[in-house]
Amino acid sequence: MKTLVIIAHPNIEESRVNKRWLEEIKKHPEEFTVHEIYKRYPDWNFDIEYEQNLLLEHDRYIFQFPFYWYSSPPLLKKWFDDVLEYGFAYGSKGDKLQGKEFGLAISAGVAEKKYQAGAANEYTLSELLKPYQASCLYTGMTFLPTFAVYGAEHNNLSDEKLEESARNYILHMQDFSKEVKV
């Protein structure tokens, strides 16, 4: 199965978690195609045909990003809006993504305990990711278990946990049988 990993971090060089994950993914070029949209499109103008062909060439998509304001960074949202267009991803003839697999790899700034009822964020990460699941349903894709790392903000994640997350990320992408949290 060909896996496309779409990296959506506006400043990957200053990221601790997403940068480390990217380094780990690049050790497996035979398994994963890396696509860094902030680097490819600094002007935010997508080559729609290129992007859609890239999707057609792969069977599984992993969207890797930091969780910003309960969503993705803005360029990834624009990517969804522009690339997954009517007639391609949905609509009467928009069947190009049906049967494909869709996964998320998310770095969340705060501890997991803050993502629950009665805590700072009130909702679980899973609840906050429902729009992505709905998009999968709408386009005929299968939503895979999410890979999430909590406590990424302000170096709250120890070096040991960061390394463990990088190893587990690869293992997760090789076997999606369960949700993984670090």
Query: pLDDT (tens digit, 9 = 90+) per residue, 59-116?
Result: 999 999 999 888 999 999 999 999 999 999 999 999 999 999 999 999 987 777 777 8
Higher pLDDT, 178 or 100: 100
Residue 180 pLDDT > 70: no
Percent of the chain residues topping a pLDDT of 90: 77
Element (H, E) at 174: helix 159-174
User: Which of 145, 157, 64, 165 lies closest to 109, judged by CA?
Assistant: 157
Amino acid at position 66, single letter: P
Residue 6 pLDDT > 90: yes
Element (H, E) at 3: strand 3-7
* Among the ranges given (78-87, 116-125, 172-181), the one the predictor scored with the smallest mean pLDDT: 172-181
Confidence (pTM): 0.93
Location of structure tokens 């696509």: 35
Report the distance separating Cα 19 and Cα 127, nearest Å.
26
> What's the mean pLDDT in 22-35?
97
Task: Report the pLDDT value the prediction gives residue 154, as an integer from 0 to 100.
Answer: 66
What domains are there in the chain, each with its CATH number?
Answer: 3-181 (3.40.50.360)
Cβ pair 77, 22 in contact under 8 A: no
- Give the DSSP letter string of 34-91: EEEHHHH-TT----HHHHHHHHHT-SEEEEEEE-BTTB--HHHHHHHHHHS-BTTTBS
Task: Report the pLDDT value the prediction gives residue 114, as an integer from 0 to 100.
Answer: 74
Residue 24 pLDDT > 60: yes
User: Which of 152, 147, 173, 168 lies closest to 19, judged by CA?
Assistant: 152
Chain mean pLDDT for the chain: 92
Confidence of residue 182 (pLDDT cuts 50, 70, 90): low
Task: Report the pLDDT value the prediction gives residue 117, as an integer from 0 to 100.
Answer: 80
Cβ pair 34, 170 in contact under 8 A: no
**Which residues lie closer than 8 Å to 117 by C-beta, 6 or more apart?**
123
Report the distance separating Cα 73 and Cα 77, nearest Å.
7
Task: Report the pLDDT value the prediction gives residue 38, as an integer from 0 to 100.
Answer: 98
